[in-house]
């Protein structure tokens, strides 16, 4: 839980993502450029969908069929130096504005937005920045709870 963490930053990510080389370095460079009182998003590469904020390219839908060689070969061509405003998931939060789920948002569509809305209520001067060089692969697994 967040209370037991000892770092000044929290990177919140779902368990069906894999980190691609350099994802953290580009986030660190963004913090140096834009400051440490913002929320930073990596960009997800997903195998399907139509979300314009993500990269849609199928390298596999689960770890067993991931074409990691093709993904790593294509990685540089998928990166962009562009930084845009907006919230994506996964997110890097500074500890001073990280909060838990906002019960006012329950039941929410997804918890990702709940946490961001909560953080914005702590400090409405924060910016949400998408770092398009920081790439994560998202398998888009649909966990069944039952």
The string of pLDDT tens digits covering residues 78-94 is: 999 999 988 788 888 88
Residue 43 has pLDDT above 90, yes or no: yes
Region of 4 please: left (phi>0), alpha (psi -120 to 50) or beta: alpha
Distance of CA 63 to the CA centre of its chain: 19
Of all residues in the chain, the percent with pLDDT exceeding 70 is 77
Sorting pLDDT into bands at 50, 70 and 90, what band is 98? low
The pTM assigned to this predicted structure is 0.84
CA angle 47, 81, 11 (to 5 degrees): 65
- pLDDT tens digit sequence for 108-138: 555 556 666 666 676 678 888 999 999 999 9
Sorting pLDDT into bands at 50, 70 and 90, what band is 100? low
Scan for tokens 């929410």, then name that residue: 108
- Which residues, in sequence order, are CB contacts of 116 under 8 Å at separation 6+? 39, 87, 91, 128
* Cis check: omega of the bond before 107, within 30 degrees of 0: yes
Q: What token pair was written down for 106?
A: 């329950």
């Amino acid at each position: 839980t967040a209370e037991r963490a000892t770092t000044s930053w929290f990177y919140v990510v779902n368990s069906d993502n894999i980190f691609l080389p350099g994802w953290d370095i580009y986030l660190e460079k963004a913090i140096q450029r834009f400051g440490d009182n913002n929320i930073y998003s990596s960009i997800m590469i997903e195998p399907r969908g139509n979300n314009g904020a993500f990269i849609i390219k199928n390298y596999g839908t689960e770890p067993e069929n991931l074409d990691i060689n093709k993904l790593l070969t294509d990685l540089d061509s998928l990166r962009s130096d562009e930084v845009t405003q907006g919230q994506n998931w996964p997110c890097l939060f500074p500890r001073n504005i990280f909060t838990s789920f906002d019960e006012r948002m329950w039941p929410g569509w997804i918890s990702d937005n709940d946490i961001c809305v909560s953080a914005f209520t702590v400090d409405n001067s924060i910016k949400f920045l998408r770092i398009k060089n920081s790439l994560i692969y998202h398998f888009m697994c649909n966990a069944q709870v039952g």
